[in-house]
Amino acid sequence: MSDGKLVLSEELKSFLLSLPDLDFELLLSSYQSSLPESFRINTLKVSHEKALELLSEEGFSFIKIPWLRDGYYVKPEGLLSHTIWYKLGLVYIQGAVSMLASELLDVSPGHKVLDLCAAPGSKATHIGQLLGGRGVIVANDVSTSRVKALASNLQRCGVLNSVITQWDGRIFGRRLRGYFDRVLLDAPCSALGIISKDWGVGRRWRERVSLTHSKLQKGLIISAYDCLKPGGYMIYATCTLHPLENEEVVMHLLNSRQDARLCRISVEGLNYSNGLMEWGNRRYHGDMAYCIRVYPYHSGSEGFFFAKLRKEVGGGEEA
């Protein structure tokens, strides 16, 4: 959150008011609130009981995040990252809704998993934890500086079965077609779900920002999907609210790959809206309602979009 007054660009206001299921006043109010600090216990290094005991000794208190296995809100805020336990990698500070991405992926020990846009590594380290040392997590990012943060976080969390690569994610599908059991694409986006972290995003946003992201996201989603084995699952996630970066991108995949199927997402303990089946003069696939839109006021945390897709066994490829 910034000092002063929240100012949204006129284009952004107009776009937000065009979303059929969004409560604009509640959204404005949540943009003006700081995000609660939350963390995940890294079960690769410590048990829940031990971690909570160690943090309690340091004066922290917690509330379990109802929709997550390993996530907690913590008080007081802003101090956890200065503890020994954080530095040793026993806990990982991560948004309460962001943590959902890896959980929705249904990772099991032994899976080969790809995190295509992995930096700084929040979700890749979480996947590493869910793998429990068996299988492999390939964490990729295109940016040299962001790969450094990714490497530091995988090190701190002790993920022995990790591989870091630095490719343009759009070419992965050509090189590793059908290799992975699970793929996570947490795509670069306009970040309209986390304006409370940076009010400048709301002031600067123009529709062309989302159009540019949408083009990149369409290339990435095809590549991510092509990496999946038949029968495999992928999660497409963004921390933005714009249909051009969400439903439109998923629709592009469904139109391009005839064996892609949307799967219904259901999360207990969290309020959300369903994916849009229409927006403006655009019409989307009937199964788009299987996707979920988590607005910041639903979670009291970040806004996210999640789609879960399955590659059918024995299906064709390009439509």
Which residues are known catalytic residues? 239
Nearer of residues 90 and 191 to another protein, judged by Cβ: 90
Nearer of residues 165 and 212 to another protein, judged by Cβ: 165
Specify whether the CB–CB gap between 284 and 20 falls below 8 A.
no
Q: Residue length, the chain? A: 319
CB of 236 to another protein, least distance (A): 23
Nearer of residues 134 and 264 to another protein, judged by Cβ: 134
Nearer of residues 132 and 315 to another protein, judged by Cβ: 132
Element counts in the chain: helices (H) and strands (E): 12, 15
* Cβ neighbour number for residue 169 with a 10 Å cutoff: 25
Distance CA 129, CA 70 (A): 10
Answer whether the bond into residue 120 is a cis peptide, omega within 30°: yes
Burial 71-95 (b: 16+ CB within 10 A, else e): bbbbeeeeebeeeebbeebbbbebb
Distance CA 113, CA 216 (A): 22
CB of 101 to another protein, least distance (A): 22
Distance CA 301, CA 91 (A): 19
Summarize as ranges the residues that interact with another protein (CB under 8 A).
45, 54, 82-84, 87-90, 112, 133-136, 138, 147, 151-152, 154-156, 158-167, 175-176
Tell me which DSSP letter residue 216 carries.
H
CB of 169 to another protein, least distance (A): 12
Burial of 108 by CB count in 10 Å (0-12 exposed, 13-18 middle, 19+ buried)? middle
CB of 263 to another protein, least distance (A): 26
Read off the tokens for 45.
């290094």
CB of 164 to another protein, least distance (A): 4
Nearer of residues 104 and 157 to another protein, judged by Cβ: 157
